[in-house]
């Protein structure tokens, strides 16, 4: 991972930031800002997880299609009460917590983000959605941090999410490639099928 999290520089600015190239390194000062702000955010992670996903579904309704259990729920108030959404929100917040805890352990941070990207490939959650979560997280934590929020804090979190999204995308594509190779290898090794095997009598 090398310079992805250590060095000088900042991240893309603004609440609608999009990752266009390699993420810009985080400074030690930015890591400290993330750690300090997380201490406040951590006190309300259950509610924050719900707020984050409700806003995600409001701004990008197509994201619901990734979640089978939420796909048919149009009422956002009903979604807010969903135990499944609460559980998923907590899982995402737990990942963010682990990421913050590993800011000084770059190899471990890279590994958990890479594995999460691979997991998203297996669940068919496209990479284009990854950056949306960071945007909504930042939007949700601003009112929680109140006067502690600053452009510097925002830039630090943007840089972290840009990095996580980039590594997750790499993990997604690595898993996608591996899956494609495995399927191709299986097809080559599998003996030719008879017409009866290819289309069983009851096949529809």
pLDDT tens string 133-186: 999 999 999 999 999 999 999 999 999 999 999 999 999 999 988 866 444 443
- Whether 3 maps to a domain, the answer reads no
* The pLDDT value given to residue 123: 81
Residue 59 lies in a domain: yes
Predicted local confidence at residue 188, as pLDDT: 41
pLDDT at 64 > cutoff 50: yes
Going from the C-alpha of 68 to that of each of 73, 122, 136, 145, 148, the distances in angstroms are 10, 14, 21, 33, 38
In a domain? residue 90: yes
pLDDT at position 107 over 70? yes
Domain count, the chain: 1
Q: Give domain status of residue 80, yes or no.
A: yes
Take residue 35 and report the two structure tokens written for it: 């750690």
28 vs 187: CA distance, rounded Å: 50
- Tell me the pLDDT of the chain averaged across its residues: 77
The residue range of the domain holding 125 is 28-183
Q: Are 185 and 74 in contact (CB under 8 A)?
A: no
Inter-residue contact 36 to 141 (CB < 8 Å): no
Q: Does residue 8 fall inside a structural domain?
A: no
Answer yes or no: is 54 within a domain: yes
Residue 193 lies in a domain: no
- Return the pLDDT at 24: 63
Q: What is the pLDDT of residue 94?
A: 94
CATH number at residue 111: 1.10.490.10
pLDDT surpassing 80 at residue 79: no
Does any domain span residue 49?
A: yes
Q: 12-41, pLDDT tens digit by residue?
A: 334 444 444 456 678 999 999 999 999 999
Tell me what pLDDT residue 71 has. Answer: 65
Q: Which is more confident, 199 or 33? A: 33
Of the two residues 72 and 126, the one the predictor is more confident about is 126
Whether residue 48 has pLDDT greater than 70: yes
């Amino acid at each position: 991972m090398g310079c992805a999290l250590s060095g000088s520089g900042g991240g893309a600015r603004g609440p609608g930031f999009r990752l266009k190239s390699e993420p810009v390194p985080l400074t030690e000062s930015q890591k400290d800002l993330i750690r300090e702000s997380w201490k406040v955010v951590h006190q309300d992670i259950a509610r924050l997880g719900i707020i984050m996903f409700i806003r995600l579904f409001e701004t990008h309704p197509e994201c619901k299609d990734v979640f089978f259990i939420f796909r048919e729920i149009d009422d956002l108030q009903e979604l807010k009460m969903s135990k499944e959404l609460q559980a998923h929100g907590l899982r995402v917040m737990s990942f963010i917590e682990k990421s913050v805890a590993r800011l000084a352990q770059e190899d471990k941070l890279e590994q958990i983000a890479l594995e999460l990207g691979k997991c998203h490939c297996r669940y068919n959650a496209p990479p284009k959605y990854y950056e949306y979560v960071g945007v909504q997280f930042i939007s949700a934590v601003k009112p929680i941090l109140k006067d502690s929020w600053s452009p510097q804090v925002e830039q630090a979190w943007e840089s972290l999410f840009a990095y996580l999204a980039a590594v997750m995308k790499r993990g997604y594509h690595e898993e996608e490639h591996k899956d494609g190779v495995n399927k191709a290898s299986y097809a080559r090794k599998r003996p030719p099928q008879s017409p009866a095997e290819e289309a069983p009598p009851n096949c529809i």
